[in-house]
C-alpha cells in the first residue's frame, strides 16, 4: 500500500513539474510576442504614408510622431476628411 501511494506521489509530482514547464514556456513566448509588437509600434513611419482603414490624422500623427501633417500636406483641405488609400507626407518631429 505504501509503495502504491509513493508511486502516485511521484507521478503527481512529475505531472505538476511538466505543467509548470509548459506554462513557463508559453509565458516566455507571449513575452517575446509582446516585445515584437512594441518594437513594431515604435518604428518610424516612411516619408510617404498611405492611410489605412479606421485611421485618423490624430492616430497617424501619434503613430508617426508628426504633429504637422495638415500643414505639410496642402492637398488635405479638411482634416476630418481622411480616407483609406490617401497618400500623405510624413516628417517625424524628432528629425527636425
The pLDDT tens digits for 29-47 are 666 666 666 555 555 688 8
Q: How far apart are CA 87 and CA 60, in angstroms?
A: 12
CATH fold of 48-95, please?
A: Membrane-bound Lytic Murein Transglycosylase D; Chain A (3.10.350)
Residue 63 to residue 92: CA distance in whole angstroms: 10
Q: Name the grid cell of 40.
A: 513594431
**What is the pTM assigned to this prediction?**
0.51
What's the pLDDT tens digit per position in 62-92? 888 888 888 889 998 888 889 999 999 998 7
Amino acid at each position: 500500500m505504501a509503495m502504491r501511494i509513493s508511486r502516485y506521489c511521484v507521478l503527481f509530482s512529475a505531472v505538476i513539474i511538466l505543467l509548470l514547464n509548459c506554462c513557463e514556456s508559453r509565458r516566455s513566448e507571449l513575452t517575446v510576442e509582446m516585445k515584437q509588437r512594441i518594437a513594431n509600434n515604435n518604428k518610424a513611419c516612411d516619408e510617404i504614408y498611405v492611410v489605412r482603414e479606421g485611421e485618423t490624422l490624430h492616430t497617424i500623427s501619434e503613430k508617426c510622431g508628426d504633429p504637422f501633417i495638415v500643414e505639410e500636406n496642402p492637398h488635405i483641405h479638411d482634416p476630418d476628411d481622411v480616407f483609406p488609400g490617401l497618400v500623405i507626407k510624413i516628417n517625424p518631429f524628432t528629425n527636425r
